[in-house]
Amino acid sequence: MPELFMGTDAGQNKNFSTKVLVSDDSETVRRGIRQLLSAHTKIEIVGEAANYAQTIQLVCDLHPEIVVLDLHMPDERSHTPQEVKSHLKHRCQILAISFWNDEATALLADCYGAVTFLDKTNLANTLIPTIVRLREKRGLE
């Protein structure tokens, strides 16, 4: 079941925070990303998805600006990169993540329409700076 998160200040900073959906089949990874991002006051996690079907549904329902998207989830054979991209690309920016840091996975990230590809083993150092950089490009910093 997808999870929604509405912090006590979620409604107060909507115009100033970047809404993020975390999509990963691992509860441990989602929890780690949630803890990491919760330390930043201008990032609001609006929900979590454990597969591509939930991701597509939550993007339509929650309108996040950024989706942190695991490239390898259990239902990947049911949802092609092109299908996921068609549902997400015009609604939000995709930050692809994976433990596999090779050329084939980077190409897969491109197929999903990701603006960047991040190595899961280094998210503690790369995720927040990447989101901040995207905020700055949109003129929110």
Give the whole-angstrom CA distance, residue 95 versus residue 99: 14
Domains of the chain by start residue, with CATH: 3-137 (3.40.50.2300)
pLDDT of residue 140: 55
Token code pair at residue 79 = 């949802």
pLDDT of residue 111: 93
Q: Given CA atoms 82, 76, 78, 53 in this order, what sign does their dihedral have?
A: negative
pLDDT of residue 138: 73
pLDDT of residue 109: 95
What's the pLDDT tens digit per position in 50-102? 999 999 999 999 999 999 999 999 887 788 888 888 888 777 999 999 999 89
What's the pLDDT tens digit per position in 2-60? 555 544 344 444 457 999 999 999 999 999 999 999 999 999 999 999 999 999 999 99
Can you state the angle between helices 123-137 and 27-38, rounded to 10 degrees? 60
Is pLDDT larger for residue 72 or for residue 138? 72
Give the whole-angstrom CA distance, residue 27 versus residue 58: 17
pLDDT of residue 13: 45
